[in-house]
Chains A and B, each alone.
Chain A
Amino acid sequence: MKRPPQIALLPDGKRLHLQDGPIDLIVEAKGSAREVRAAYEVAAARFTGLLDELCAELVELRKAAHPLHCSLHGLVARRMHAAVAPFAGNCFITPMAAVAGSVAEEILGVMLRVARLDRAYVNNGGDIALHLAEGEQFTVGLIDRPDSQGLMRTLVIGAGDPIRGIATSGRHGRSFSLGIADAVTVLAKTASVADAAATIIANAVDLPGHPAVTRLPANELQPDSDLGPRLVTRDVGALSESEIERALEAGADCARGLLAAGLIEGAALRLKGETLVVGTRGPHADRRHEGLIQA
């Protein structure tokens, strides 16, 4: 079953849009026209059939990952497993926690194999794989919540920084969260690890048993959710300042552990308007500029 995915340049003529089922990628490469074209061609070619490849192992991908053993076959599936494996010893995590980042990484990888690019990114719904050649940099911004007041932070990532992956997780996203964070954004060496780590840290931002938090079994909401009957956060009512702080601190503890273990380079945790940044490379806040325009 080879459905052709949607492959198109965006109207700016520069960015490539790839979409298939739930995967939605924005790709941009900078370099000579020839190199960029070659990169886009190979990106489109690799993307075609990628979802089918993943779906072929979907049942296995939805199961809890074993910390050491991987029975998956596909390249992307194995990358997903590798990304979540470091976390699998201590908690429940499935390779699906890293699907977005792993796909972004895969597409960026094939582009870089065929083309010499100054810089490039593959943005998979907010989980981003980056490439930076020497002397290049990316300025990235952080929007807190698209459906509410925004907090803007910016970060310059240079070629010398180890960061090549950015991912965000939280309870407002498409995936369910076991925690109550509005958003946890993680910077890491790869997009797949950033993706998995963001999930883990967002789950850790929590107030277990708090009455203001509404939770429902994941499979009651999405029958085939990889989280099965685990309780996922549906709503978070009013929390006191100290409760917000306590929840964020729980997540920050987790993030600091991952930072110390070298799994992530930084994280920004957000809950009810409060932000906690972990790691010197966490996106720096600029309080003066809170309130990002959006509608």
Chain B
Amino acid sequence: MSTEATAAAIGDKIRCDACPVMCYIKPGAAGACDRYANHDGQLVRVDPHIVLERTVEHGGRLVPFQVSGDWDGKIVHQSDIFVTAIGAGTTYPDYKPAPFIVSSEIDGVDMVTVVTEGIFSYCGVKVKIDTDRHLGPETATVRAEGEAVGHVTTGEYGSQMLSLGGVHHLTGGSKKEGRVTCDTLMDLSNCKPVELTIDGGATVVVQAGHAPIVNGMQEERMRVGCGSATIGMFAKQWHGKVDEVVVVDDHITGVLSEHQAGKLLDIADTGIKMKGRRSTPGRYFQVAEPGTGWGGTKISDPLSVLGPFDPREARPGLTMLMVSTTGEHAAYYVLDEALRPVETNMPLDLKLSVERIQENCEPALCTVLFMGGAGGSLRAGVTDNPVRLTRSVKDALTRVTSGGAPVYVWPGGGITFMVDVTQMPAGAFGYVPTPALVAPIEFTMRLSDYAALGGHMDYVRPLTSLRDTAEVRPMPYIPGRRA
């Protein structure tokens, strides 16, 4: 959206100097090029152009349509035909109606291409942030530039989840809320970093495909498992090297000597006393408040989750490893004569076990799924009877892609889909000042299904000339069911 062009204000009009036409542009209007617009007195680049340009790149070069070949072989492998015929591989946009667009892509057969872009008012992003750190309570408002753009939703394994955008933030609130939401969605969808602040929680910089930065600290790893799972995974490696291990975790903190895994190894009781609520032996909930410290808790001193050792079982010289679920935090203690843990240099083999935990933690990433619904006008373009396209999609006869990337089509009514923005070409998303997002969307289908939809058969004639299409049995693409 940033532009090299500048604008001089004349009353409520601005004068664009992006090119020598030097258009005067009124608020809410675009210049002669349809690329630069006056948005609340600011010159912005609207540019559905880029979307299409990227789509072309995508279809033509970056990610060949149907690389996997598990669609209906011949037809779809003629990706140019399909892309062209349905518009995903369109030429540049023709803003005028009823454009003749001539191209000769396939053996001299001239094809007509149609601009493919959807304007989505009903859209948003689901953000998965791989961190155990507490970012904010569920349903807490997520803000960008102080404006509400979404909320914290139910967490997933090793990850915090945000649900951003949606029609209420886009068009239901103040003008600024709509604009900031739109900017946030577009930046996130275009894999740009966005700083989000959560009411009663953290500030997090989110960028698709990159590690989250929580309160200024870059997250390195996802936890290897919950504290209990970590005990289970590493119990054997700790056996004989240390008397007790506590894996600190906001979810389930694990204690080796009490845990089933420790019992199986005949690890002796240590008299350890955990805070929190015991779930099953060796597994504790709520040892501390959630936060951005050890294992997603707010603690910086791990000993604060322990009560005094039980003198009936503990003994001076007993050794204990405390470690977080990512191995990011670890400390080694030896009980003194008063049975108090005293931090001591960690023996090498325990250091190695901590490194092993780290090694087994996947890199923490932010992932962004764009989610939008193809509305009436989008579908109406396909057929006189838009529901037929919906049905065709539901019956897995028509495949939906976004910028060539596979999508998951949500079951039920309409065509609501999700797509991983990192699979899409750079800058695939644009916006219109409505505000709403502009995203590429393509429908791909078999020739016969296209005909059944009332498709234009003259147009796809080149497909019928492909010799062996009739013998190829299509394997319907079933969203979400691919290996």
Please give the residue numbers on chain A whose beta carbons come within 8 Å of chain B beta carbons, in ascending order: 1, 3, 10-12, 14-15, 17, 19-22, 24, 26, 28, 30, 51-52, 55, 58, 121, 123, 125-128, 130, 138-150, 152, 154, 166, 168-175, 182-183, 185, 220-224, 268, 270, 286, 288-295
B96 touches A172 (CB 8 A): yes
Closest to A10 in B: B56
B97 touches A150 (CB 8 A): no
A55 surroundings in chain B (CB, below 8 A): 19-22
- B275 on the interface (CB 8 Å rule)? no
Q: A17-B92, A148-B380, A152-B456 are in contact. List 7 more A-B contacts (CB 8 A).
A: A21-B21, A28-B103, A126-B96, A154-B458, A170-B96, A173-B95, A223-B25
- State which of B111-119, B181-189, B310-318, B355-363 sits at the interface with chain A: B111-119
A146 touches B100 (CB 8 A): no
A117 to B255, CA, bound (A): 80
B34 touches A149 (CB 8 A): no
- B396 on the interface (CB 8 Å rule)? no
A11 to chain B, nearest CB (A): 3
B262 to chain A, nearest CB (A): 59
Choose among B109, B381, B457 the residue that contacts A149 (Cβ–Cβ < 8 A).
B381
A126 and B381 contact, Cβ closer than 8 Å, known pairs A10-B60, A295-B442: no
Choose among B100, B378, B459 the residue that contacts A128 (Cβ–Cβ < 8 A).
B100
A168 touches B98 (CB 8 A): yes
Interface centre among A3, A126, A182, A221 (most CB of B within 10 A): A126
A121 surroundings in chain B (CB, below 8 A): 102
- B128 on the interface (CB 8 Å rule)? no
Q: Of residues 367 to 400 in B, which have CB atoms within 8 Å of A's CB atoms? A: 374, 377-384
A270 surroundings in chain B (CB, below 8 A): 98
B378 surroundings in chain A (CB, below 8 A): 295
Closest to B16 in A: A21
Choose among B56, B102, B114, B380 the residue that contacts A123 (Cβ–Cβ < 8 A).
B102
Q: Please, could you name 5 A-B residue pairs with CB atoms under 8 Å apart, sorted by A? A: A58-B21, A123-B99, A223-B13, A291-B456, A294-B381
A222 touches B96 (CB 8 A): no
Choose among B93, B99, B381 the residue that contacts A293 (Cβ–Cβ < 8 A).
B381
A146 and B377 contact, Cβ closer than 8 Å, known pairs A11-B56, A21-B19: no
- B193 on the interface (CB 8 Å rule)? no
A19 surroundings in chain B (CB, below 8 A): 92
A169 touches B96 (CB 8 A): yes
A291 touches B32 (CB 8 A): no
A154 touches B98 (CB 8 A): no
A168 surroundings in chain B (CB, below 8 A): 96-100
A20 and B459 contact, Cβ closer than 8 Å, known pairs A11-B56, A295-B442, A295-B443: no
A20 and B457 contact, Cβ closer than 8 Å, known pairs A125-B99, A149-B381, A222-B29: no
A295 and B20 contact, Cβ closer than 8 Å, known pairs A169-B96, A174-B95, A174-B96: no
B32 touches A170 (CB 8 A): no
Closest to B444 in A: A293
A126 to B97, CA, bound (A): 8
B381 touches A148 (CB 8 A): yes
A11 touches B455 (CB 8 A): no
- B283 on the interface (CB 8 Å rule)? no
A291 and B98 contact, Cβ closer than 8 Å, known pairs A148-B381, A150-B114, A222-B23: no
8 closest cross-chain pairs (CB), A and B? A21-B19, A126-B99, A141-B112, A183-B98, A11-B60, A173-B96, A22-B33, A223-B24
B71 surroundings in chain A (CB, below 8 A): none
B111 surroundings in chain A (CB, below 8 A): 141
B58 to chain A, nearest CB (A): 9
A interface footprint on B434-452 (CB within 8 Å = 1, 0 otherwise)? 0000000111000000100
B61 surroundings in chain A (CB, below 8 A): 11
A106 to chain B, nearest CB (A): 17
A149 to B379, CA, bound (A): 9
B24 surroundings in chain A (CB, below 8 A): 222-224
Choose among B57, B59, B112, B384 the residue that contacts A291 (Cβ–Cβ < 8 A).
B384
A174 touches B32 (CB 8 A): yes
B116 touches A223 (CB 8 A): no
A291 to B93, CA, bound (A): 20
- B166 on the interface (CB 8 Å rule)? no
- State which of B83-91, B138-146, B286-294, B321-329 sits at the interface with chain A: B83-91
Q: Of residues 446 to 483 in B, which have CB atoms within 8 Å of A's CB atoms? A: 450, 453-459
A182 to B103, CA, bound (A): 24
